[in-house]
Amino acid sequence: MTDAVETKSPSNNKRNVLIFTAVVVVIVVLAALFLSGLIKLPQSTTSQSSSNSSKTMTSLTANTVENNISIGRQPLYIAMAPNGEFAYITNGASGTVSVLSTLTKRLNATLPAGTDPSGIAITPDGQFAYVADTGGNTVTVINLETERLNASVKVQGRPESVAITPNGDFAYVTNSLNGTVSVIDTITNSVIANVSVGEIPYSVAIAPNGEYAYVVNSGSNTISVIKTATNAVTANIPVGNHPESVAITPNGDFAYVTNTGNGTVYVINTTDNEVVTKISGLLSPSSVAITPNGQYAYVTSSGGDNVFVVNTATYRLNASIPVGIEPSDVAITPDGQFAYVANSGSDVVSVITT
């Protein structure tokens, strides 16, 4: 019996060589296309998400104006809703309050607010706005849910500014003409006290714990400190020339006071009521607001048409932001992401990305 011998066909060998050669050619071509950039590997979902997030974060540059919103004539003061959804701006020459949506950055409503509205404050529950009517010597109380007048409270001469205690029980109103602060019970909307302070009390701020009200006396260059439990003045602190505005840091430790007359901001230690530093070189500083984290103070320059940003740790200027004409007031959103600036000379509100 003859053993079977396995033989390979020459044609099979040739076909195998051709297949191998074709595979090598395809690999070489694909490699060349990949290296040239004509073929790209697909990105993972995580990579795309990270890329999109990066673009979103870099599209908003810190300390730049994102929007300029036209509102009423001569916008003077701004107050933020406690939930941050709306900004309320008094328009002195229009006799109105503009309601801006902080989500859409658009005008949401216009509310009547007396003859000459100036300072404005919102109750902690967000239900009412208290508006000083300088021309009518009253405080207009607006129901923000119904957008209707709720009350009109008679106070003393030329009310300018309003601040509400953290518990919402009382509103403190500066009467610039006769040197007093009227205290309004927000339940009855009646005046329960008139506290004598310095000359031309212009603005007022209340400590976060509600224990003290700090009153800026523009005519006597002082800050009067009122103990809210007794409505008695416990201190008068000398500051710079023609002070206009005061803001308290979130921890309650310091009060920042703008002095328009000599271009300074004084920082007061609220424990001993002593001035700890003076920030100089600011042109016509008018209003001041502190970010919720306490790291920065935003100061409007009514003469320079810009907003200064001061680092509260170093007391140094961090930025200067051009805004509209004659910025008169500034307010920070509760989340700290935006600063709203009322420009009384150009009838717009500038929205700054912080």
Residue 61: predicted pLDDT: 81
How far, in Å, CA of 231 to CA of 225, rounded? 10
Residue 24: predicted pLDDT: 52
Residue pLDDT, tens place only, 215-241: 999 999 999 999 999 999 999 999 999
pLDDT, average across residues 185-189: 98
Residue 59: predicted pLDDT: 46
Query: Kind and range of the H or E element at 112?
Result: strand 106-112
Task: Give the type of residue at 216.
Answer: V
pLDDT at residue 49 greater than cutoff 90: no
Residue 204: predicted pLDDT: 98
174's CB contacts (< 8 A; 6+ apart) are 119, 132, 159, 160, 161, 162, 181, 197, 201, 202, 203, 204, 215, 216
Cβ neighbours, 10 Å, residue 32: 11
How far, in Å, CA of 53 to CA of 50, rounded? 5
What is the CATH code of the structural domain delimited by 61-353? 2.130.10.10
Local structure of residue 7 (DSSP, 8 states): -
pLDDT at residue 179 greater than cutoff 90: yes
Question: Does residue 15 or residue 105 have the better pLDDT?
Answer: 105
Alpha-carbon distances, residue 314 vs 143, 279, 338 (angstroms): 42, 10, 22
Q: What is the DSSP string of 285-302?
A: EEEEEE-TTSSEEEEEET
pLDDT at residue 44 greater than cutoff 90: no
236's CB contacts (< 8 A; 6+ apart) are 198, 222, 223, 224, 225
